[in-house]
Structure 1
Amino acid sequence: MLDLAKYESGTYKMKMDSFAIDAVIRQVCEKLAIEIEQKQLQLHLRLSPTVVVANQHRIEQVIVNFLTNAIRHTPERESIYVSTVEERDTVTVRVENKGASIPAEHLEKIWDRFYRGEPSRHRSTGGTGLGLAICKKILELHGVSYGVTNTADGVLFFFRLNKKV
């Protein structure tokens, strides 16, 4: 809550660094390895070595949130795909999980604070409803695009970062 309030205050200035996004993604995957193994999930990484300009700690927070959500919503023994796609000046970070899609009427609302798409709205079956709202503010403070889309057999979250020139 405090982080979100700080970001929404309009006075918070994001300190930018240069770092290898692929290395940060690998570190996050290692941190979450136990949760991945507990559900017997297959983690597929397709990462290109790319240096970006962003706040490393905050982008790590976004990746942790996206991947934690993917783990939570992926059925046992299914797959999660984490990839980076390089364009000319940007790189897109993609986290896709297999499993149930998000109903179309929920796609835009999931970024709202306290919004929880799962029907029971109970904390024991999901998070606080703040994670994606925090991610949204972090990505907005970076001035980058982000989003979510349903795929043929799952859900894809993504965001773009500027490459270091």
Structure 2
Amino acid sequence: MMHIVLHQPEIPQNTGNIGRTCVATGTSLHLIEPLGFRLGEKELKRAGMDYWDKLSVTRYIDYEDFKAQHPGAKIWYATTKAKRTYAEVSFAMDDYIMFGKESAGIPEEILVENEETCIRIPMLEDIRSLNLSNSVAIVLYEALRQNDFAGLEREGELHRLKWSK
């Protein structure tokens, strides 16, 4: 199982969308406080639709609490400040991918301690960042692709018609 970690997320709609992506991919969601919203907010539930009750979600008091509960975990730190792209690394199915809060990203103190596992999404120089839920989807699906989409449905069925052979 892959793991998505959100460090102090601020926007409930982003977290709801990320939760829905996690449910669709069998990925667990880890939320490091403080959160910029309450988990019961209607925006969070609306973005996550009716999937939120199917989500494996864990909350942590702070980053140190998260680290203490996952000693030895392989953590990738997604940041616009990294030297390597997410496509240049090899993800394993039990890896954690951390994303920072919308307004500031992951604190630089955490990044400098983990320089070798910092990754970025390439984008034009004058663009500050992508939307958080889009960033999670991009990196998560690359990690899943590298692991042959293990456990995920790879073929779909039409509702009324049939695919040709």
Q: Shorter-chain TM-score category?
A: under 0.3
Bigger radius of gyration: 2
The alignment's TM-score, normalised by the length of structure 1, stands at 0.24
The structure that is strand-richer by fraction is: 1
The alignment's TM-score, normalised by the length of structure 2, stands at 0.24
